[in-house]
């Protein structure tokens, strides 16, 4: 997961190296071309997680972690959601707080992005079955995309469901774009593990009832 702080510092949060899943949080300063280590993510290291950064707040959810039982499958879904607050005086210090579970069951490769204007971080699609690259899970079962779109409202500190039946849902994402017109999702993988070139525009608010 990647976020930008003060239009300058780039935060790389967790992920997977060639040998293992890592909990590192790395901060890159492009003006000085220097890297620094920040407070690592809590809990089990994950990859394929999703989230965003608004002002000094980081939100990330789920991802895949190494199977704590060992054996197969090598990786299983994580259901942990976390909020990180960057210290105003020391950008490498992050205070992490565990959040309650988000709406929906997707855990892996959810599209996510934040909006300072809305004070929200948005999430769409993804799957509940982590996989490597072909859409078939580490457990050998085909993965399917979730139709749930939701957000975390930083003003209220609560999860909000935008839609439980998003049309033509996709998975295999790293991010989404937040625009005044809605949420823009580019590409991804549709049901049946079909790679798509579509560009989708999703609403940012739940439909009026």
What is the residue extent of each domain of the chain?
Answer: 2-202
Residues 99, 83 contacting (CB under 8 angstroms): yes
Residue with tokens 């071309």: 33
| CATH superfamily, region 2-202 | Kelch-type beta propeller (2.120.10.80)
Residue with tokens 């909006």: 115
CA dist., res. 60 & res. 121, Å (int): 9
- The predicted pLDDT at position 209 comes to 65
- The predicted pLDDT at position 71 comes to 86
pLDDT of the chain along its 209 residues, tens only? Answer: 899 999 999 999 999 988 899 999 999 999 999 999 999 999 899 999 999 999 999 999 999 999 999 889 999 999 999 999 999 999 999 999 999 999 999 999 999 999 999 999 999 999 999 999 899 999 999 999 999 999 999 999 999 999 999 999 999 998 999 999 999 999 999 999 999 999 999 999 987 76
Tokens, residue 41: 């993510």
Closest CA to 112 of 102, 36, 131: 102
């Amino acid at each position: 997961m990647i976020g930008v702080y003060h239009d300058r510092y780039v935060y790389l949060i967790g992920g997977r190296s060639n040998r293992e899943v890592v909990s590192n949080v790395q901060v890159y300063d492009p003006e000085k071309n220097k890297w620094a280590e920040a407070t690592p993510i809590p809990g089990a290291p994950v990859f394929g997680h999703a989230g965003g950064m608004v002002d000094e707040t980081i939100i990330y959810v789920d991802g895949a972690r190494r199977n704590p039982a060992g054996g197969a499958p090598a990786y299983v879904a994580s259901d942990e959601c976390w909020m990180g607050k960057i210290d105003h005086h020391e950008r490498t210090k992050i205070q992490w707080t565990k959040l309650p579970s988000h709406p929906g069951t997707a855990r892996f490769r959810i599209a996510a992005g934040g909006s300072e204007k809305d004070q929200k971080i948005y999430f769409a699609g993804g799957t509940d079955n982590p996989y490597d690259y072909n859409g078939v899970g580490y457990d050998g079962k085909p993965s399917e995309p979730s139709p749930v779109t939701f957000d975390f409202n930083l003003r209220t500190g609560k999860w909000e469901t935008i839609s439980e039946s998003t049309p033509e849902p996709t998975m295999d994402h790293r991010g989404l774009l937040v625009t005044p017109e809605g949420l823009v999702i580019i590409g991804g993988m549709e049901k049946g593990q079909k790679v798509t070139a579509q560009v989708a525009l999703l609403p940012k608010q739940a439909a009026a009832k």
